[in-house]
Each structure stands twice: as C-alpha cells, then as structure tokens.
Amino acid sequence: MAAAAKRSLRIGLIPGDGIGLEVIPAARQVLEAVAPHFNLNFSFVDLEAGWATFQKTGTALPEATVERLQNECDGALFGAISSPSTKVPGYSSPIVALRKRLSLYANVRPVKSVAGAPKPIDLVIVRENTEDLYVKEEKTYDTPTGPVAEAIKRISAFASTNIGRMAFDIAATRAQRAGRANVTITHKSNVLSQTDGLFRESVRAVYDSDRQTANKYANVTLDEQIVDSMVYRLFRDPQTLDVIVAPNLYGDILSDGAAALVGSLGLVPSANVGDGFAIGEPCHGSAPDIAGTGVANPVAAVRSAAVMLEFMGHQEAAGRIYEAVDAGLVEGAVVSPDLGGKATTKEVVEDILKRLV
C-alpha cells in the first residue's frame, strides 16, 4: 500500500520587532520537528511588519505582506511590535490592521496552568478583535476649560454575533472532553447600555437561537459578569472560569492579567482567528530590555504555533507540542529567567525538541 501523501502547509512568519525576532524562529523549529510525526510538511514565507519596517519603508504593514498572506499562506505566526507610545504621523499598529484586512475577528487566548499547580486553571478568553475603542477614531478639541479628547467605542451586532458563535463553538469542543462547559459574557452594560448592551444581547441571542433549533450547545451553560467584578473573580477564583467572551478592550485587559495567574506573559499564547485563517501570536510584547540577549522565553510563541495548528484542523500535532512544553515546565530544570531559571532561548527550545520524539 502506498504511503499517504504528506499534507503541505505554508506558514507566513512575521517576527516584527524585539524578541519577536528570536521567538518566531524558535516556533518554526518546533513546527519543523513535529511535522514528521503527523505526516505534515511545512514551508515558510518570511514577511515584514512592525516599527523597524516602518522606520525603513515608511509603512508598518507593507501591502506585499498582506497579499502574500492572502494568496500564499495557510496560516501565520506573528511575533511582537515595538509601537511608539506617542503619536507618530503615518504609523499605526500592523497587527490591528492585519486583523481587519484578513477579517480575523476573534482573538483566542488559552490560559492554562501546568499539572500539579495549587489552583488548576484552564480557561480561554475569546476577545472580539475588530472594533470597540480599537477602531482608533479619536479627536481632541479646545473648550473654555481646556482641551477635551474623545474616542469612539463602536460595537456592532454583526461582530458581536460572530464572536459569540466562536466562543460557544470553543465551549462545545471543550464540553466534548469534559462533559460540560460554560461561557461567561463580560460587559459593562449597567453603564454603557447601548454599546455593551448590544454586545451582551447579541451574544445571548446566539445561544438562545441555537437552543431553540439545532441544540449544538446542549452541554454549554451561559452566565455573565460585569467587567470590574470579573477582574476580581479572575484573580480570586480563576479555577471557576471556563470560556470568557468579551469586547475588544475588556478582553485585552483580562488576557494580560490572566497571564499573571500562570507565571509569565512568556507562557501565554493566542491566535487571531477568522473563518478559514489563523495567525498565532504570543501575548507578550517586544521586550526591548532583553531583545538580543538570547534569554527571551519562547514558550508563548511555541504554544501560539500549536493554537494556530488547532484552528487549521491539526489537533493531534498541536497536542504533541502542548505535551512537550508542559513536560518541561513541570520538570522545571530548563526554564528562562522570567520563570526564575537561567536557561537561554536556545536551551528552552532544545528541551522542547527532545520531548517531541
């Protein structure tokens, strides 16, 4: 019998700035190492975006990067961006632009503790990725009492319905493993009755509609939490949370806060997901203070590659990566400085690679 043909996957690599230049090559190594075990064949497309690209070319997101992602790639990995803290004419965040250009309407961030943790945590934050205050429509004007700055907070039923469906689909998958799952809508509709109110109502409508028809979410329950009390609950009782769905800003804040529960931003992955495309993206920033020193933690980028694979339909390969990473963290002998260790990026990657066999 002839051997099955290898599945070829073309992955765009966008390291960006700072430690992105170190952790994205690390994730590539892991993908290359896991491929033979699952009859996969990866090829890679090197692409540019970020602050350094803006300084060199005058644009943070070259059109060629977008076109090659759209026309040549099955998925992508994005590193980190060193965005300026003050306004720079002509500059805007390339990852925000990519999310819009590729209709990557969901940012999915799993937050999971390793085996043996005192408080086992296994939750997923599903963040709407295209609107809210991140539409970046701001203005400043003068008044008799001084300047006033305003920003548009845009929430649509369309985007809220999409993110609700994504959250419930993720919960349904988790329910297949655990028997039950829960989705918590996070909002501030007690104050923002129109914007957050629309988000809340749209997400609930997805659940209510399904319960009346296909019952796809039969093993999924639904509750909700005001965002300020959600922060309290996240830090006091994170083990009670399962899938959290939130508008863009709240989801961003909760995601970074949740990283502290498992030890470091260097551990937490994410993926920007649309219908048919995913970009894995570690949650950490470009970390200019350690860029180039060889001690950046590659785990978040490696796990982001695994999340990307999950959304591409390769759950078994993703699972092998998770197992290898987790085994090293549990053992604790080869960990980077952010986790209290002394291992270099290269040493952490080598430890993961040997566990993939």
Q: Where in the sequence numbering do the catalytic residues fall?
A: 134, 188, 228, 252, 256
Tokens of 85: 């803290």
Report yes or no: 42 and 106 within 8 Å, Cβ to Cβ.
Answer: no
> Burial, 2: exposed, middle or buried (Cβ in 10 Å; 0-12, 13-18, 19+)?
exposed
Tokens of 71: 């026309």
Burial 148-181 (b: 16+ CB within 10 A, else e): eeeeebbbbeebbbbbbbbbbbbbbbbbeeeeeb
Q: List the beta strands (DSSP E) in the chain.
A: 7-16, 40-46, 75-80, 106-112, 122-128, 138-143, 146-151, 181-187, 220-226, 243-246, 271-273, 278-280
